[in-house]
Amino acid sequence: MTSEKIVVVDDEPDILELITLYLHKEGYQVVTCGRGDEVIRAVEVHQPDLIILDVLLPGMDGIEVCRSIRKISNVPILFISCNYDDLDVILGLGVGGDDYIPKPFSPSQLVARVKAHLRRNNMKDSSNNHHVLKFDGLEIDLHSHSVTVRGVETTLSSKEFDLLALLASSPKKVFKIDQLYSQIWGSDSLGDTRTLMVHISNLRKKIEPDPAMPRFIITIRGVGYKFQP
């Protein structure tokens, strides 16, 4: 059995049982929670490698749970929810979620996303890149995963940093949307690019002097994005 541990949070016992079954088949250790107010304790005790988090929960909703987790951990958080409108996606990813999958979902698809996030996280942890990328008013330390904007250190989520580092490491290179999704999330976008678009929007708000008129992250209409040094 793999040593990787996953916390699964959902108030529907059938869904908890289904997800647990499929994760166990892949060799993962699983800890389950049925209420939002149980999650922080579970994270502190079990130190999971990934969290699967429903949005609608008793005790504390998934958005507040995610906010609380981000105060103590950068563990990948994969949201699942039956509500999949743009506002839900923006809220979930805006508070530090890494990905978002709507219900009903294919268990095999969920497992594939879990594997992709864990693989990306392990690759990031094993990297040993020490150099700093410096631009006009923007510094990106690839080793410490820190970003300084006009002299002030700015907090980015794990996926926001990965996205910025990828773009900034290849200035002026145009990345297609599917290419970015594949390299950052480690899986296919399945035709839904909202996760990427929300991360780009959040990133612009944090690093751009004027997010409405981006200086660094440029949209190439109909294609994707590039970093303009």
Let me know whether 210 and 120 are in one domain. Answer: no
Per the model's pLDDT, the better-predicted residue between 91 and 220 turns out to be 220
Specify the range with the lowest mean pLDDT, choosing from 49-63, 175-189, 197-211. 175-189
| Shared domain check, 62 and 10 | yes
The mean pLDDT of 108-122, rounded to a whole number, is 87
Which of 69, 99, 126 is where one domain is finished?
A: 126
Whether residue 86 is found in the same domain as residue 148: no
What whole-number distance in Å separates Cα of residue 48 and Cα of residue 79? Answer: 15
Q: Please name the residue that has the structure tokens 């700093």.
A: 132
Give the mean pLDDT of 62-91.
Answer: 85
- What kind and span of H or E run contains 73? none
Residue 136 shares a structural domain with residue 93? no
The pLDDT of residue 53? 96
CATH number at 148 reads 1.10.10.10
Mean pLDDT score across all residues of the chain: 89
Range(s) of the domain holding residue 34: 5-126
Same-domain status, 143 and 189: yes
153 shares its domain with 103: no
Q: Is 181 exposed, middle or buried (0-12, 13-18, 19+ CB in 10 A)?
A: buried
pLDDT of amino acid 85: 64
Do 152 and 66 lie in one domain? The reply is no
Do residues 78 and 147 share a domain? no
Q: What is the share, in percent, of the chain residues with pLDDT greater than 90?
A: 61
Final residue belonging to a domain, choices 106, 126, 146: 126
Q: Are residues 104 and 181 in the same domain?
A: no
| Alpha helices, H only, 59-106 | 62-70, 86-94
- For residue 185, with 0-12 CB atoms within 10 Å meaning exposed, 13-18 middle and 19 or more buried, which class applies? buried
Determine which of 4-8, 96-100, 128-132, 146-150 has the lowest per-residue pLDDT on average: 128-132
Give the residue from 76, 101, 126 where a domain finishes. Answer: 126
Residues 107, 80, single domain; the answer is yes
To the nearest 10°, report the CA torsion of 192, 193, 198, 204: 180
Stretch 40-64: mean pLDDT, rounded? 95
| Cβ burial, residue 28 (10 Å; 0-12/13-18/19+) | buried
For the chain, the C-alpha Rg in angstroms (whole number) is 18
Q: What is the CATH number of the domain that holds 24?
A: 3.40.50.2300
Cite the beta strand spans of 104-145 per DSSP E: 132-135, 138-141
Residue 46 has pLDDT above 90, yes or no: yes
Q: What is the total count of domains within the chain?
A: 2
Residues 139, 222: one domain?
yes
More confident residue, 189 or 181: 181
Claim to verify: residue 66 and residue 80 sit in the same structural domain:
yes
Stretch 108-125: mean pLDDT: 83
The answer to whether residue 128 scores a pLDDT higher than 50 is no
